[in-house]
Amino acid sequence: MRGQKPVVVVAAVVCSLCLGTGVAVAGDGWGPARPGSDGAGDSYYPQDGNGGYDVADYNLKVTYDPASHQLTGKQDISARATQSLSSFNLDLHGLTVDSVRVDRRDATFTRTGDHELVITPSRSLHRGQPFQVEIDYHGVPEPIQDPLLGPNGWQYAKAGGAFVAGEPKSATTWYPVNDTPLDKATFHLAITVPDEWGVISNGRERGSVKAPGGTTHLWAEETPIVPYMTTIAIDKWTFDRQKRKDGTPIVSAFAPGTPDSAKQAEARLPEILDFLESKFGRYPIDAAGGIFLNEQIGFSLETMSRPLYSAGWAGTVPVIIHENAHQWYGDSVAVEHWKDVCLNECFASYAPWLWDEAKSGVDLNTQYANQVKAAPQRLWDAKLYDMGPGKEFTAVYSKGPLMLHALRNYIGRRAFDFVLKTWPSLHRGGNASMRDFQRYTEFIAHRNLQGFFDAWVYGSGKPADQYLYPGDLKPAP
């Protein structure tokens, strides 16, 4: 705004004076080199991720032997220092680090805690300096066993293959990474496996080449990605390849034993993406598809460009809609903190409602009233914001779509549809919070929505009737 320009000019002058004289303002990152933080500061998982740098690209070369489960990796990381660094951390669960080089010079390293890799370069890094990290490592990957969320990360298929799936963490089980949603980066993978095995990952196929001991498969995700959304899946796949009308490649992989019903549901992916695009704006990712396991893992996951589906219940149109809605809500626009996870799951869970309304003529007001009538007290007692670590993935799937449908009626269909379609574009490639969403919705609706958000999102208990039955909503008979 115009009224802020003098402040900006003064700040710029002060900054230029500091640069010209070599004087640094305390705490601005230009002072003496110091260690980067060993966590990104999330209130639920404070030591996940790290501070002091920003990753631009992960270039990962992996050799994996399904028979022995042995993985050998070389990780090349392109990053930029956001403060002057004497040392910095990466996250790695298990596995053995053999060597580390920073800008082609040997670096010292230590392991602390259950996942911290502390790297001390031979020369300190200055704020703003681009740098490269090369890490050689090996071992047998193991999942992270979370008492509330179950296994996360590298997992083994009964047929001998492997796959990576987990939220809020998974990438640390197979490569060194800055494991926070706040640090997105492009992701390039070259993985060598015995010839009889196939591989699928994020992004676009870059071909395969014969290599000693097998075949090297190349994948590239050029849309910056949050680490837990990266995946690799190794099996004896049947592949299906399509294209969207705009040329976006669609690659889906089906493990042996995948039922025909799942393949038929996935065949509708171009139609599903077209529909979601009509609701949420332009598709924000550079590839699409799906990975259909023959393992029942209890969940499916919105791994970027290529969701991963559990066997049994997951290969259905509603689940495919849900996971692909995440490409807008959760993948392109990621959470700022894990307490904001409703921004991912509430919206993805509402997407099948919108599909049923458009494709089958379902009366959503009646559906809403019936679900409200049948809802147990525990649903109302659950929160949609700051629900506590390990409790993120509960009420967001059931109470979440009810909240959004009530919001649609509270602010009106026109304003709601506009918010739904423009929010992903507004924050594309970035991070956002529930407070951000509230402020944006208030701006579009031209009204204060604190009472609604307090009743539905920030608090617990059944909302008062003015928020439970706004607009055309009425209790079920």
* pLDDT confidence tier of residue 110, bands split at 50, 70 and 90: very high
Read off the pLDDT of residues 220-233 as tens digits, 9 standing for 90 and up. 999 999 999 999 99
pLDDT of 448 higher than 90: yes
Read off the pLDDT of residues 266-315 as tens digits, 9 standing for 90 and up. 999 999 999 999 999 999 999 999 999 999 888 999 999 999 999 987 78
- Mean of the pLDDT values across residues 7-34? 44
To the nearest whole number, what is the mean pLDDT of the chain?
92
Query: Residue 150: what pLDDT?
Result: 78
* pLDDT confidence tier of residue 94, bands split at 50, 70 and 90: very high
Query: Residue 1: what pLDDT?
Result: 42
Residue found under tokens 């298990």: 94
- Kindly report which listed range (16-25, 83-92, 462-471) carries the lowest average pLDDT score: 16-25
Q: How many CB atoms neighbour CB 65 within 10 A? A: 16
Read off the pLDDT of residues 420-444 as tens digits, 9 standing for 90 and up. 999 999 999 999 999 999 999 999 9
Closest CA to 177 of 222, 125, 225, 233: 225
Query: Residue 89: what pLDDT?
Result: 98
pLDDT of 21 higher than 70: no
Q: How many CB atoms neighbour CB 303 within 10 A? A: 29
Q: What is the dihedral of CA 156, 158, 159, 160, to 10 degrees?
A: 40
More confident position, 5 or 110: 110
H or E element at residue 253: strand 249-254
Read off the pLDDT of residues 192-203 as tens digits, 9 standing for 90 and up. 999 999 999 999
Q: What's the distance, Cα to Cα, between the start and end of the chain in Å?
A: 52
- Mean of the pLDDT values across residues 40-51? 95
pLDDT of 56 higher than 50: yes
* pLDDT confidence tier of residue 30, bands split at 50, 70 and 90: low
Q: Are 323 and 419 in contact (CB under 8 A)?
A: no
Read off the pLDDT of residues 323-344 as tens digits, 9 standing for 90 and up. 999 999 999 999 999 999 999 9
Q: Are 241 and 202 in contact (CB under 8 A)?
A: no
* pLDDT confidence tier of residue 101, bands split at 50, 70 and 90: very high
pLDDT of 29 higher than 90: no
